[in-house]
């Protein structure tokens, strides 16, 4: 009777309302009574029981027992036969759902995903034990081909799990499934899994996509809906950043409040990295055509890590292991290097690579492996849509925003002209600058372009200052004016000055000024210094003077002033790195670099130095896991970098304030 009592209390007993005779109960109890002492004998008795009572509800329990015995001895075929016997013979029995889960598990091990779904098709989870429900949810999640359905089952599995490590693994799986989804799919996920935690995560991802597309109303709704649902702590910070980003973008202003000026950064001082502990991966082109750039970046990283620092005792230096891999300039090698480093559990983040195609391949792998990657590229697409990828170099947008902001706030310019080459660089920068001006309420009132290979810019300059579409009468007046100006060259100084003044005061047929018409305060020229030294004198020749010249980092070269001389006096331009800066921490970096390597740093070494320091600061503040490093990087604001003051945006793209330089008395000096 003991066996019968155990049977009634266990999951292997028949339902109380099942029609089971006393003889059936006795025979089944007899079969399992020897299970502990003689499993083989128990198996034979269970087989005999099924043959004697094939339609008894208890035969379902006997078959489940036989299936588990078969699995214990490694016979999946026999176990699968036993499970399917229960499913076919007792479709409404109390053990059929356990049989469905058992059969599905074997089919999954064999790679038969369709069979898995067929086995689970009529499953009723409420009739399963907790362990069986978890197995069923895992099987549904793994076998479902629809990503929305997979997330729904993973959400169920997560809700039943109490181990935080297991939950973290489930969260990673959910993130991988959400990453490629569009906004409509994300909305379906949220609807299907609400109120479970992944619902808020899907709504947040949809809001971030809406922000990328400047759909502010959709972003607002997504953020509001996500904030009402439970959310894992790691995503609460992302939600706050998304709300902050929405506020800034809706204001119509650039997010300059996200970082201080260089002066403010210097006053605040640099965070200490001496207590940093851990390992950092580095992937750079250390061989091949771009090895020189990779070596410069590596030197910056090693300098930040204190590898060559003899000024401080060992106990005050970061204890950081640098794992270095050579990408050779190859996207394939870069991806393989990231994959290899990701297998090293102690590596908490990776810096690099440099080249755009390398960075894209490395970013794809880093996202899959869920290891933070700080890419040393200016291409914003590398980080967008990837939660573990960050981009830290100065972008053309940073340059355009900084120039427009300074020109309008500090120099009082409101009306602008743009003179640009017809190539990718010129078109891209001119568009970014135009947008930056209009965001701040300014106007672009003149626009002209020229062939990228040109050396004579006269026709473009003349279009810029109003010589286009002149009437024959206006052309005749301009010819007369130019004749007077030429005549002035042969006259004494005072008479020549009077004649030039008379010529320049001539009006057109309708009493309007004749070209050149300088009705703009500044001219933006996105061009290299080699071309600027040709353009600036031609601006003067065509009397397009009086406006402030504005340029990009490509102007930052000593030849700009040694060749163009007075024609670039008063010009302003950006710089990704300025080693002669008066800012203390920048000056210190420049001096240490020269002392250590015997040559000045460049923007590659400066950017890599900053990337390393960004990681060291997080490690010094207690970050221990890759996810922790990722979340802390997203919260960086106003970082005092030697390549610019940096704040990280929610999409992983750093927004940087580059240096602003000017030409004063024939010298390139800091403007801000």
In this prediction, what percent of the chain has a pLDDT beyond 70?
82
Between 257 and 87, whose confidence is greater?
87
Task: Using the predicted structure, report yes or no on whether residue 12 has a pLDDT greater than 50.
Answer: no
Average pLDDT across the chain, whole number: 82
Confidence (pLDDT) at 279: 93
Between 153 and 538, whose confidence is greater?
538
d(CA 401, CA 49): 83
Confidence (pLDDT) at 15: 41
- Mean pLDDT over 194-199 rounds to 79
Using only the alpha carbons of the chain, give its radius of gyration: 36
- Mean pLDDT over 458-475 rounds to 66
SS3 446: strand
Confidence (pLDDT) at 396: 92
Q: What is the pLDDT of residues 524-560, one digit of tens each?
A: 999 999 999 999 999 988 777 889 999 999 999 999 9
What CATH class has 397-470+515-575?
alpha beta
d(CA 16, CA 1): 17
- Mean pLDDT over 53-66 rounds to 84
Q: What is the pLDDT of residues 89-120, one digit of tens each?
A: 888 887 888 888 888 778 777 877 777 777 76
Angle between helices 96-109 and 76-89 (to 10 degrees): 140
- Mean pLDDT over 462-473 rounds to 62
DSSP-derived secondary structure for 350-388:
EE---SHHHHHHHHHHHHHHT--EEE--S-GGGTTT-TT
Q: What is the pLDDT of residues 343-366, one digit of tens each?
A: 999 999 999 999 999 999 999 999
- Mean pLDDT over 214-233 rounds to 84
- Mean pLDDT over 588-603 rounds to 94
Contact 363, 375 (CB under 8 A): yes
Helices and strands (H, E) in the chain, number of each type:
28, 15
Identify the band that residue 249 occupies on the pLDDT scale cut at 50, 70 and 90.
low
In this prediction, what percent of the chain has a pLDDT beyond 90?
34
Identify the band that residue 300 occupies on the pLDDT scale cut at 50, 70 and 90.
very high
Same fold, 263-392+583-639 and 397-470+515-575: yes
Among 128-137, 232-241, 246-255, 268-277, which is the least confidently predicted range?
246-255
Architecture of domain 263-392+583-639: 3-Layer(aba) Sandwich (3.40)
SS3 643: coil
Q: What is the pLDDT of residues 605-655, one digit of tens each?
A: 999 999 999 999 999 988 989 999 998 998 888 888 999 998 888 788 898
Task: Using the predicted structure, report yes or no on whether residue 63 has a pLDDT greater than 90.
Answer: no
Confidence (pLDDT) at 296: 96
For CA atoms 306, 307, 312, 314, give the dihedral sign: positive
Among 62-71, 425-434, 450-459, 475-484, which is the least confidently predicted range?
475-484
Among 1-5, 357-361, 437-441, which is the least confidently predicted range?
1-5
d(CA 574, CA 660): 5
Confidence (pLDDT) at 185: 85
Confidence (pLDDT) at 478: 58
Contact 461, 448 (CB under 8 A): yes
Identify the band that residue 5 occupies on the pLDDT scale cut at 50, 70 and 90.
very low
- Mean pLDDT over 262-279 rounds to 76
How far does CA 525 lie from the centroid of its chain? 30
Extents of the domains making up the chain: 2-143, 263-392+583-639, 397-470+515-575, 478-511
d(CA 529, CA 424): 17
Q: What is the pLDDT of residues 642-659, one digit of tens each?
A: 999 988 887 888 988 899
Confidence (pLDDT) at 451: 92
Confidence (pLDDT) at 233: 65
d(CA 483, CA 181): 68
Contact 437, 408 (CB under 8 A): yes
What CATH class has 2-143?
mainly alpha
């Amino acid at each position: 009777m003991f066996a019968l009592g155990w049977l009634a209390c266990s999951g292997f007993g028949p339902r109380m309302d099942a029609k089971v005779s006393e003889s059936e109960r006795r025979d089944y109890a007899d079969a399992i009574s020897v299970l502990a002492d003689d499993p083989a004998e128990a198996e034979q008795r269970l087989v005999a029981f099924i043959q004697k009572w094939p339609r008894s509800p208890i035969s379902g329990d006997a078959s489940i027992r036989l299936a588990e015995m078969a699995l214990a001895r490694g016979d999946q075929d026999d176990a699968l036969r036993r499970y399917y016997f229960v499913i076919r013979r007792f479709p409404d029995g109390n053990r059929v759902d356990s049989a469905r889960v058992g059969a599905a598990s074997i089919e999954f091990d064999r790679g038969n995903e369709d069979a898995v779904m067929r086995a689970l098709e009529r499953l009723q989870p409420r009739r399963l034990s907790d362990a069986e429900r978890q197995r069923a949810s895992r099987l549904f999640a793994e076998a479902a081909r629809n990503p929305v359905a997979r997330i729904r089952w993973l959400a169920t599995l997560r809700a039943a799990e109490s181990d935080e490590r297991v939950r973290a693994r489930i969260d990673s799986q959910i993130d991988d499934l959400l990453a490629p989804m569009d906004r409509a799919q994300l909305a379906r996920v949220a609807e299907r899994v609400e109120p479970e935690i992944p619902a808020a995560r899907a709504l947040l991802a949809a809001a971030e996509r809406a922000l990328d597309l400047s759909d502010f109303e959709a972003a607002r709704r997504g953020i509001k809906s996500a904030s009402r649902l439970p959310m894992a702590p790691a995503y609460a910070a992302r939600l706050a950043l998304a709300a902050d980003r929405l506020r800034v973008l809706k204001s119509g202003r650039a997010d300059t409040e996200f970082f201080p000026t260089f002066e403010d950064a210097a006053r605040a001082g640099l965070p200490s990295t001496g207590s940093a502990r851990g390992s950092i991966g580095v992937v750079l082109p250390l061989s091949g055509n771009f090895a020189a750039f990779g070596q410069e970046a590596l030197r910056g990283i090693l300098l930040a890590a204190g590898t060559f620092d003899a000024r401080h005792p060992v106990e005050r230096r970061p204890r950081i292991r640098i794992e270095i891999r050579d990408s050779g300039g190859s996207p394939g090698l870069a991806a393989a290097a990231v994959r290899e480093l990701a297998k090293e559990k102690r590596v908490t983040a990776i810096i690099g690579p440099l080249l755009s195609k390398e960075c894209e391949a490395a970013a794809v792998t880093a996202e899959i492996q869920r290891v933070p990657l700080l890419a040393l590229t200016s291409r914003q697409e590398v980080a967008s849509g990837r939660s573990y990828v960050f981009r830290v170099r100065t972008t053309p947008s940073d340059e355009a925003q900084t120039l427009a902001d300074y020109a309008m706030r500090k120099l009082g310019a409101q009306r602008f002209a743009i003179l640009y080459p017809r190539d990718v660089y010129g078109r891209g920068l001119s568009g970014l600058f135009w947008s930056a001006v209009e965001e701040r309420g300014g106007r672009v009132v003149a626009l002209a372009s020229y062939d990228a290979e040109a050396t004579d810019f006269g026709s473009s300059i003349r279009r810029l200052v109003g010589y286009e579409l002149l009437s024959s009468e206006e052309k005749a007046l301009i010819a007369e004016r130019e004749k007077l100006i030429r005549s002035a060259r042969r006259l004494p100084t005072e008479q020549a000055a009077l004649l030039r003044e008379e010529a320049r005061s001539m009006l057109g047929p309708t009493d309007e000024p004749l070209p050149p018409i300088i009705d703009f305060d500044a001219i933006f020229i996105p061009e290299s210094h080699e071309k600027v030294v040709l353009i600036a004198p031609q601006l003067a020749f065509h009397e397009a003077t009086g406006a402030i010249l504005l340029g990009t980092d490509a102007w930052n070269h000593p030849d700009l002033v040694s060749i163009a001389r007075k024609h670039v006096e008063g010009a302003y331009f950006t710089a990704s790195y300025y080693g002669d800066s008066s800012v203390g921490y920048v000056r210190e970096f420049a001096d240490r670099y020269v002392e250590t390597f015997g040559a000045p740093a460049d923007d590659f070494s400066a950017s890599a130095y900053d990337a390393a320091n960004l990681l060291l600061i997080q490690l010094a503040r207690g970050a221990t896991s890759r996810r922790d490093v990722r979340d802390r990087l997203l919260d960086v604001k106003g970082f005092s970098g030697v390549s610019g003051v940096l704040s990280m945006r929610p999409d992983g793209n750093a927004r940087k304030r580059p240096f602003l330089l000017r030409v004063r008395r024939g010298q390139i000096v800091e403007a801000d």
